[in-house]
Amino acid sequence: MTVFLLLYLCADTTRTDCQVVRADSWSGPHAYKQCLDVVPGLTEALTAPNRKRHRFVCEIQGDGPKPAEHKAPSAFIHQSFRM
């Protein structure tokens, strides 16, 4: 199993407009726990306002294609329009 640590960089606290950045990865039977163990420290390192906007997420990757082989399908991007 492979686990990716993803950082969601969001424009505001609603977290509707975010960019995802891969921050780290682990492989093996304890990969998810290793990822979860680093999240609190990284979150704590963010400033208080940034903790409300950005977040770290551990995502498990299945036995599908490896990251280099993965072709991302076109995705619908949710955008919020305010008047």
Radius of gyration of the chain (CA): 15
pTM > 0.75: yes or no: no
Give the CA distances from residue 57 to residues 31, 50, 69, in Å, rounded to whole numbers and listed in that order.
Answer: 13, 15, 22
Structure confidence by residue, pLDDT tens digits, 52-74 = 999 999 999 875 554 444 444 44
pLDDT at 10: 93
Residues of the chain with confidence (pLDDT) below 50: 66-83
Domain ranges of the chain: 2-61
